[in-house]
Amino acid sequence: GQSSINRYVERRTTYSGMGGRPGVGQKVSGSIGCLCMAPFFLFIGCSLLWFNEKWAIKTHRSLNEALDAHDTIWDAERLEPEKEGRLVHLSGLVSVDRSAHDNVFGLETTCAVSLKREVEIYQWVERHTRKKHKLPNGATEVEDVYDYQKKWNSNAVSSRDFRNEYGHENVGVLPFASQTFRSSGPVHLGAYDLAKVLTQKLTTYSPISAVNVKNIPPGGALHGDQIYLPAVQGILDTTNSHQENLEISTAKNLDSPIDKKVVTIDGEDKIQYTVKSTGEQFSSLKAAQNSILVEKKVIKMDGEDRITYIVKSTGDQFSSMERALDAAAKVPQVVQQQRQQQRQAPKKKTIVGAPQIGDVRVKFSEIKCATVSVLAKLRGKLLDSWPSQQGPGYDIAILQRGRMAAAEMISRGKAMNNFMMWLRRFGGFLLA
């Protein structure tokens, strides 16, 4: 293959049929297959159109019912038991018993229905595209393009799965998990409580500053709305959700790329060798050393799975381990020393604007307590779904941000109904 700093390209030629051209039988069988599938897609498209029209009409009718049947509660702070069981409209400020909070980082805002912690790690990511070109002799040239880009990612990416790992090695782990925290107790709207069907409609998150974070992890740095942490070798222990732990396990010995330890397997003590950079385990030192120089991969070529051995320092590929090891041994010593220094060099402190592979950032956002308007059924002090005459699936439980009249809320509901109707029509016409 041909390689560049951020792109790796493989080309191969495939042949099908006699003389490299598809035969008459192949063309006929392909046409028959398309004809057989056509009725299926026609049926799916027509069914989607039918269900869409039914859904749109019933939704429109249920909204008209709500417009005629609703009753307004003008003061959300005052209970009105005489409206029990009716569809009511009211506006007011959302509140909670205790704001959502993150115990690990010691972050709690004034009033938040939900608090989200987003943890991202700076990693190489691979994007694979395939292009096919028809050649004059009837053969097909297949070009596999692998592009590599540095990005903030919500998960640690294993570079061992890359087609070309050389120069794109990922390090580091996520020391904390991304998590969403909810407020304690029910969510209130004045003197009333919101049922889950309504609180689920509170989905607008706003970023918040990390200035109020009380527990900044060791080595972390506060920068604006985020916390930056340099790459670490380890992972947060989250086995006990009630005892969240800030201790990060780090490798004690960074001098040797291979860790040797004695483990007990089936009642016997055996020596196990672990390659620190990948976590791979071997029963012999030689196998562990070879894995540092050469990677074994199974790739699909011409429809068959084949074993390929890749020299990590150059990206060259061979069909046998022996030839790959010979090639690795011939790599200039200075190149091997440079790569060894890159692996063992301690990570620098995070520089804003120039993150290093393996660096981690933590961001926070919240759903603030805000003014909302609600159309729902009153049950005691609980606001819940109001069943319309259109049947299950067409209940009324509307929550919208801001203070607005019932007629405006229903008008917005009808506009969304029309939008979804035309979107489904478009999808149905494409299939039909």
Q: Read out DSSP for 357-418?
A: TT-EEEEEEEEE--EEEEEEEEETTEEE-B--TT-TT--B-EEEES---HHHHHHHHHHHHH
Query: How many other β-carbons are positioned within 10 Å of the β-carbon of residue 233?
Result: 17
CA-to-CA separations, 91 to 71, 79, 285, 339, in angstroms, rounded: 12, 13, 71, 63
SS3 350: coil
Give 3-60 as a DSSP string: E-SSEEEEEEEE--SGGGS--HHHHHHHHHHHHHHHHHHHHHHHHHHHHHHHHHHHHH
pLDDT score of 23 = 55
Structure tokens at 161: 């799965």
Please answer whether residues 386 and 374 qualify as being in contact, where contact means their C-beta atoms are separated by less than 8 angstroms.
no
pLDDT score of 233 = 45
pLDDT score of 73 = 95
Listed residue (232, 264, 261) closest to 356, CA to CA: 232
Listed residue (362, 283, 312) closest to 117, CA to CA: 362
Q: Give the whole-number percent of the chain exceeding pLDDT 70.
A: 77
pLDDT score of 410 = 94
Q: What digits encode the pLDDT tens for the residues 180-228?
A: 999 989 999 999 999 999 999 999 999 998 888 999 988 888 877 899 9
Distance CA 285, CA 250 (A): 23
Listed residue (284, 280, 294) closest to 325, CA to CA: 294
CA 90, 372, 206 angle in degrees (round to 5)? 170
- Residue at token pair 């959300």: 76
- DSSP label at 140? E
pTM given for the model:
0.62
- DSSP label at 231? -
pLDDT score of 245 = 36
Counting as low any pLDDT under 70, the low residues of the chain are 1-5, 16-38, 40-43, 45, 232-257, 276-277, 300-303, 313-315, 330-353, 428-432
